[in-house]
Amino acid sequence: METTPRSGSARRDARWSTFARQYLPHGAPLTIPVTFSYRRSDPLCVRAVFHCPHGNDVTWVLGRDVLAAATRTLTGSSDIIGWPDPVDGRLWLRLGPSPDHALLSLDRDQLTAWLQITYTLVPPGTEEDHLDWTPIHLLLAC
Q: What is the pTM of this model?
A: 0.84
- Strands 75-77 and 2-7, sheet pairing: unpaired
pLDDT value, residue 55: 82
pLDDT value, residue 8: 45
Question: Is residue 70 a contact partner of residue 83, using CB atoms and an 8 Å limit?
Answer: yes
User: Which structural domains are found in the chain, ordered by start?
Assistant: 2-141 (2.30.31.20)
- C-alpha dihedral (57, 60, 61, 63), degrees to nearest 10: -140
* Peptide bond before residue 99 is cis, with ω within 30 degrees of 0: yes
Distances (CA, A) of 51 to 22, 57, 73, 141: 12, 5, 27, 41
pLDDT value, residue 2: 53
**Side chain identity at 92, as an amino acid letter?**
W
d(CA 60, CA 40): 18
pLDDT value, residue 49: 97
pLDDT value, residue 10: 66
Q: What is the pLDDT along the chain (142 residues), one digit of tens a residue?
A: 554 544 444 678 999 999 999 998 888 899 999 999 999 999 999 999 999 888 889 999 999 999 999 999 999 988 999 999 999 999 999 999 877 889 999 999 999 999 999 999 999 887 777 767 677 777 888 7
The values of phi and psi at residue 66, to 5°, are: -70, -45
